[in-house]
Structure 1
């Protein structure tokens, strides 16, 4: 349907442009009877504006029409414009079969690597996904664009004897660089100068990991950094466990900082670490506080970086939700959108994934809970908010610039 609408639009534009030129020539006393007009006569900014509003499936079809359109739709600048207008969706990783799906449940690709014992979907940024593949023999991190099918495998860190590992993946807009960080503790701590966690950074396009020093906090949730506005975010506490707070890691200057969190009550040392979950959904940072059973308070940061903009958007009072929060600790909100609570209709549902098995849908108006069935997908799966894009990780690694500017 999308391609047919596009072809109709193309025909109307061509016809109107032809009629305008004919009218102008008639005024000059010259009648042109066989004047061929095409979409290529449109200025480049207009073509970019039209194409960038089309679904990504239609874009992939357009790339096959001619070389000039293929070049336009493959340009990094066009990928950036299209990404800014692309709608949010959900990406699902079926761990057992190693398949990647979108929420339409159409497989994007299958990882044909049977020797991998574990496969984890760490995070997504600009339509790129960061995957962790772990087996007895090797520990591999790779970055994929499942739409384009291109990927890069990151170099292996030098040290192998790792006891703890926390990761994050994101993008620094000022330098146009993608970065992956690892926060590690080693089994042979005597071999290093500090007993604290070590922070290592890898810039996509290089072949090394850089050690930038000790982690100044203890990170609680999540075990991967959630990316938004050029920074990774966690819930953390001080080494003496006296204070708890949110923190961020700026991918530009590569520094950790305390980050303004919501006005949740402090419960001193008795607070379990799995009562808090931090994430990003719909372009907003959220924090889920499940300490006061059976309540689950969901806070949304409406204006990034502004402490006063934290809003308690949902208060879910349900024993099943509280039980799952205690059991899994990890909670992800998959489909939040702005003003979801205020504009809720009878069918408006907030989808929440606990761990990798328990998917719940909370009806915003009726306050009821149901368990959706993900047809065709095994119970052991992961899901994250995702924006399909045309961003090429290989071009990003080479830091290719636009040919249109």
Structure 2
């Protein structure tokens, strides 16, 4: 069974999903030991995580106070960027290697319409920076159309492309995130979670889920399977 050298076997196994690896632990004791080793776990996590990064970053701005909470960040990749929307409605990119901020320009055709207020939500769509743009009157969103812009070449303003529009959608509080590159997640005005297709004839229809939160508090976060157990991850953060 152990015909291949360990390094070559590791390079093959590290490309497999977590479910397959749990099954392959039963192949032999040596395979089980290899898959359970910290070296293999770290290598698998570094390849599997979205954007080649491990951990979660939360930046929260309050009206009366300001708080920045960094939960975890263990990446060794120096080319990562963090997109945040500044108080003056600029998109900023932070380069981890240089610790420098730089502005990313909005698409030229994104403008507020008279009597309305433009809102935006940054998401990752098909591994590209994307922005959902919509207008609201007052504090209500009713039967709105949502424009989805995608930056085809990162950092180049001229590469923004308006891929499509979704709507009219009624009862939407705000967009949340993308899901599997073919769906968008939404928060309804009553705090319920819903989704809509990115492409196809049913793009304007909502699928509602039996998941509720308090209005304006629902959040969607990216989840990836990992060989790192929750207890082990907590232990790493404590250390």
Say yes or no: TM over 0.5. Answer: yes
CA distance in 1, matches of 2:120, 2:77: 32
Report what 1:84 is aligned to.
47
1:55-74 to 2 correspondences below 5 Å: 55-63=17-25, 65-66=28-29, 69-74=32-37
- Deviation per CA, 1:110-137: give whole Å up to 9, x if none: xxxxxxxxxxxxxx984645689xxxxx
Task: Give the 3-state SS of the residue equivalent to 1:372 in structure 2.
Answer: strand
Unaligned runs of 5+ in 1: 1-37, 89-123, 133-161, 176-228, 239-243, 337-348, 400-405
CA distance in 1, matches of 2:29, 2:148: 49
CA distance in 1, matches of 2:152, 2:7: 32
Task: Work out the number of aligned pairs and report it.
Answer: 217
Residue 291 in 1 paired to residue 135 in 2? yes
Residue 398 of structure 1, CA deviation: 10
Conserved? CA contact 1:235–1:246, under 8 Å = yes
Residue 254 of structure 1, CA deviation: 2.9
- Deviation per CA, 1:295-353: give whole Å up to 9, x if none: 21011223322333322122113141xx51xxx345322222xxxxxxxxxxxx52322
CA distance in 1, matches of 2:43, 2:107: 32
Corresponding residue to 1:362 among 183, 186, 197: 197
Residue 43 in 1 paired to residue 8 in 2? no
Unaligned runs of 5+ in 2: 137-142
Corresponding residue to 1:300 among 138, 142, 150: 150
Report what 1:259 is aligned to.
104
Indicate how the Cα distance of structure 1 residues 299 and 396 shifts in structure 2: closer, same or farther if over 3 A, else same.
farther
Corresponding residue to 1:164 among 63, 66, 74: 66
Report what 1:245 is aligned to.
90
CA distance in 2, matches of 1:172, 1:60: 25
Residue 389 in 1 paired to residue 219 in 2? no
The TM-score, its normalising length taken from structure 1, stands at 0.44
The TM-score, its normalising length taken from structure 2, stands at 0.68
CA distance in 1, matches of 2:152, 2:162: 10
Report what 1:313 is aligned to.
163
CA distance in 1, matches of 2:69, 2:104: 18
Report what 2:117 is aligned to.
272
Conserved? CA contact 2:176–2:187, under 8 Å = yes
Structure with bigger RCO (C-alpha 8 Å, 6+ apart): 1
Alpha-carbon RMSD: 3.9
1:4-403 to 2 correspondences below 5 Å: 38=1, 40-63=2-25, 65-66=28-29, 69-76=32-39, 79-81=42-44, 84=47, 126=53, 128-129=55-56, 163-167=65-69, 170=73, 172-174=75-77, 230-238=80-88, 244-267=89-112, 272=117, 275-291=119-135, 294-320=144-170, 323-324=171-172, 328-336=173-181, 350-354=183-187, 357-362=192-197, 364-366=199-201, 367-374=203-210, 378-380=211-213, 382-390=219-227, 393=233
Residue 290 of structure 1, CA deviation: 0.4
